């Protein structure tokens, strides 16, 4: 391999090492002391509960592991959003599991906690996946109640979803393994079946202190809403467990009895590994986000047998479109080509830019995949649509709109991988978060923003310099450089994949070598939900 390959490999493996270090810290939740305290109470941590519940040595993927990263420093932080969410297998059945992390503010709900829970329910609804709630929460985090309680996408939406999911026939099982207070008490009781752990689980609309203050009654929490009360007196819960493991074993037994599901019918054959070495991705992906590379070399290291059937390979070459298989599943791939290409007309097309012909090709390819019932995979490394008079006169807005229309109205499941840049309208056309990908995840090399940091900083620095000059201040070259660096530093922080993941703009940051697992498990989940409506582009400008 050449020197540039080695430099790229070193850089990308350092990014991967940073990812692993950050995630190791996140997995500690509220810290080792709080974990020890939980164990002393005879309880397992959220991650231990999920690990015990899921089939041993089976694959799983974690949603929103970096949710809340760097947020709420004035409140002590909220690692993983105070809740752990994984898609995995229980008795061979694919499920999604949601577990409150009681080491983080006693499992209290921050704004990001609510958003992450809603994302988990969204995945369950879209894919008709059984969902398991492992409840251990003190309820809404009161200092931030105005940001979690009253709005449409806040805390109450969880229970509305409980009701709708039940009507849709999506299995919901809840185990109360700790506190379950106030409005949060509705979640397990609005699930199909509810379990409660003796002596550690409790459910009540108001705890003993509030009951005393409100109506003057003196009562302890266990008598008020413990396992015996709800399994033998109120009838609120369906099963009583002696400890965490007993509750999780009961859930396994319940899931084991769930009948088979109607399949969507996506094509799958025996999986084959890529013929080319996937580890070489680290050396192919350039260190600098502005450097060119051939995206086909990435694709060949992701797909089965490294086989790819290009669609309109010689046309609209700034986008790669074609058919392949990933872990046996048939997929249609739409990827940004990152190298400069020369068209048959002798024109140059820059890497990472979407041109009119590319947008037109992608629109037709999306329609073909919808007709053939083939899931779509978007590999993003896009700087945006081509600008300038030639492009505007050629109708780039119209062609871009057609592509966005096709992505928006697509009825087959979509999966988005942010390999590198994800800027501006290119993010939208390549199925960004706003366009309902079933899963959207990033590599450590990803950057998300309305435009690149350097370009944005130049524009904003020029505006700020003009404003200062208008006020009569002297702005020399040194001052302009200072303004540029200050703005670029702030902007670069916001383009980081961790900034996006903390806010759930993406579901995860992953090792590129895990991409096949994510897409395969995502399509397997989508196969639980048959397509309900035909593909229809609606009205478009031709």
Strand-pairing partners, residue 167, are none
Strand-pairing partners, residue 320, are 335
Helix (H, G, I), strand (E, B) or coil at 156: helix
CA distance linking residue 18 with residue 497, whole number of Å: 12
Residue 183's pLDDT is 66
Residue 496's pLDDT is 92
* 354 token code pair: 């979407």
* 212 token code pair: 């005393």
Residue 473's pLDDT is 77
Cβ neighbors of 445 (< 8 A, separation 6 or more) are 12, 15, 285, 289, 419, 420, 497
Residue 521's pLDDT is 98
From residue 248, give the alpha-carbon distance in Å to each of 15, 90, 232, 430: 36, 10, 20, 40
Helix (H, G, I), strand (E, B) or coil at 117: helix
From residue 188, give the alpha-carbon distance in Å to each of 280, 359, 360: 47, 47, 48
> Which residue, among 227, 189, 234, 225, has the nearest Cα to 207 in the 3D structure?
225
Strand-pairing partners, residue 416, are 378, 440
> Which residue, among 338, 324, 435, has the nearest Cα to 380 in the 3D structure?
338
From residue 153, give the alpha-carbon distance in Å to each of 118, 161, 435: 8, 11, 17
Q: Based on C-alpha coordinates, what's the Rg of the chain?
A: 25
Task: Please check whether residue 120 is in contact with residue 161, taking contact to mean a CB–CB distance below 8 angstroms.
Answer: no
CA distance linking residue 542 with residue 536, whole number of Å: 15
Residues found in the chain: 542
Residue 209's pLDDT is 81
CA distance linking residue 426 with residue 444, whole number of Å: 19
Residue 451's pLDDT is 63
> Which residue, among 442, 431, 363, 352, has the nearest Cα to 395 in the 3D structure?
363
Q: Give the other-Cβ count within 10 Å of 288's Cβ.
A: 8
Residue 444's pLDDT is 98
Task: Please check whether residue 110 is in contact with residue 81, taking contact to mean a CB–CB distance below 8 angstroms.
Answer: yes
The 3-class SS string of 349-379 reads ECCCEECHHHHHHHHHHHHHHHHHCCCEEEE
Cβ neighbors of 427 (< 8 A, separation 6 or more) are 380, 382, 448
CATH of span 1-30+264-446+506-536? 3.90.226.10
CA distance linking residue 354 with residue 337, whole number of Å: 9
**Look-up of token digits 């530093």:** 489
- Same fold? 1-30+264-446+506-536, 31-256: yes
> Which residue, among 44, 403, 408, has the nearest Cα to 247 in the 3D structure?
44
| DSSP label of 317 | T
Residue 393's pLDDT is 57
CA distance linking residue 118 with residue 467, whole number of Å: 42
Q: Quick one: 31-256 is in which CATH superfamily? A: 2-enoyl-CoA Hydratase; Chain A, domain 1 (3.90.226.10)
Helices 244-256 and 46-53 cross at an angle (nearest 10°) of 40
Q: CA angle, 38 as apex, 37 and 39 as ends, to 5°? A: 90
Q: Which helix (H) or strand (E) holds 445?
A: none
- Enumerate the domain spans of the chain: 1-30+264-446+506-536, 31-256, 452-495
From residue 297, give the alpha-carbon distance in Å to each of 160, 215, 278, 293: 46, 70, 10, 8
pLDDT by position in tens, the chain (length 542): 589 999 999 999 999 999 999 999 999 999 999 999 999 999 999 999 999 999 999 999 999 999 999 999 999 999 999 999 999 999 999 999 999 999 999 999 999 999 999 999 999 999 999 999 999 998 888 789 888 888 888 888 999 999 999 999 999 999 999 988 876 778 888 999 999 999 999 998 877 888 888 899 888 888 888 899 999 999 999 999 999 999 999 999 999 999 999 999 999 999 999 999 999 999 999 999 889 999 999 999 999 999 999 999 999 999 999 999 999 999 999 999 998 877 777 676 777 899 999 999 999 999 999 999 999 999 999 988 876 777 775 668 888 899 999 999 999 999 999 999 999 889 999 999 999 999 999 999 999 987 666 766 677 777 777 777 787 777 777 777 777 777 777 777 888 999 999 999 999 999 999 999 999 999 999 999 999 999 998 776 66
Q: CA angle, 151 as apex, 491 and 79 as ends, to 5°? A: 50
227-254: string of b/e by CB count within 10 Å (b at 16+)?
Answer: bebbbeeeebbbbbbebbeebbebbeeb
Residue 491's pLDDT is 74
């Amino acid at each position: 391999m050449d020197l540039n390959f080695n430099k790229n490999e070193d850089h990308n493996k350092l990014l991967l090492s940073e990812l692993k270090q950050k995630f190791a810290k996140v997995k500690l939740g509220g810290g080792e002391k709080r974990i020890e305290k939980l164990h002393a109470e005879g309880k397992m941590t959220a991650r231990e509960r999920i690990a015990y519940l899921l089939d041993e040595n089976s694959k799983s993927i974690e949603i929103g592991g970096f949710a809340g990263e760097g947020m709420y420093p004035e409140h002590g932080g909220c690692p993983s959003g105070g809740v752990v969410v994984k898609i995995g297998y229980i008795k061979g059945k694919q499920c999604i599991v949601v577990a409150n992390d009681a080491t983080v503010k006693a499992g209290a709900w921050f704004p990001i906690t609510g958003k992450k829970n809603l994302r988990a329910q969204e995945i369950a609804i879209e894919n008709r996946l059984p969902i398991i709630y492992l409840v251990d929460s003190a309820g809404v985090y009161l200092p931030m109640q105005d940001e979690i309680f009253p709005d449409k996408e806040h805390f109450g939406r969880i229970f509305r979803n409980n009701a709708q999911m039940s009507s849709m026939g999506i299995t919901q099982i809840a185990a109360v393994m700790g506190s379950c207070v106030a409005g949060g008490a509705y979640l397990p009781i609005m699930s199909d079946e509810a379990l409660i752990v003796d002596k550690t689980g409790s459910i009540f609309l108001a705890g003993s202190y509030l009951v005393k203050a409100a109506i003057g009654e003196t009562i302890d929490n266990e008598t008020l809403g413990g396992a015996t009360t709800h399994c033998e007196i109120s009838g609120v819960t369906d099963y009583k467990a002696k400890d965490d493991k007993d509750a999780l074993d009961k859930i396994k037994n319940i899931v084991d009895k769930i009948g088979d599901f109607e399949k969507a019918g996506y094509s799958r054959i025996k999986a084959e590994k890529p013929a080319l070495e996937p580890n070489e991705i680290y050396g192919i992906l350039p260190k600098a986000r502005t450097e060119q590379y051939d995206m086909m070399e990435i694709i060949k290291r992701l797909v089965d047998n490294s086989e790819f059937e290009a669609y309109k390979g010689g046309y609209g070459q700034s986008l790669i479109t074609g058919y392949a298989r990933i872990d046996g599943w048939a997929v249609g791939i739409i990827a940004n080509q990152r190298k400069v290409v020369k068209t048959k007309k002798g024109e140059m097309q820059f890497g990472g830019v979407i041109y009119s012909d590319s947008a037109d090709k992608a629109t037709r390819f999306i329609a073909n995949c919808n007709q053939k019932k083939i899931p779509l995979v978007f590999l993003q490394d896009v700087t945006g649509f081509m600008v300038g008079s030639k492009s505007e006169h050629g109708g780039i807005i119209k062609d871009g709109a057609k592509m966005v229309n096709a992505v928006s109205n697509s009825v087959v499941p979509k999966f988005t991988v942010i390999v590198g840049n994800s800027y501006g309208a290119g993010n939208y056309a390549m199925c960004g978060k706003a366009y309902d990908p079933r899963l959207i995840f990033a590599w450590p090399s990803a950057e998300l923003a309305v435009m690149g940091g350097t370009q944005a900083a130049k524009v904003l620095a020029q505006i700020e310099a003009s404003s200062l000059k208008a006020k009569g201040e002297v702005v020399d070259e040194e001052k302009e450089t200072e303004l540029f660096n200050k703005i670029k530093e702030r902007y670069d922080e916001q383009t980081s994949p961790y900034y996006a993941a903390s806010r759930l703009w993406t579901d995860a940051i992953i090792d590129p070598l895990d991409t096949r697992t994510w897409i395969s498990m995502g399509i397997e989940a989508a196969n639980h939900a048959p397509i309900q409506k035909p593909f229809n582009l609606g009205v478009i400008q031709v």
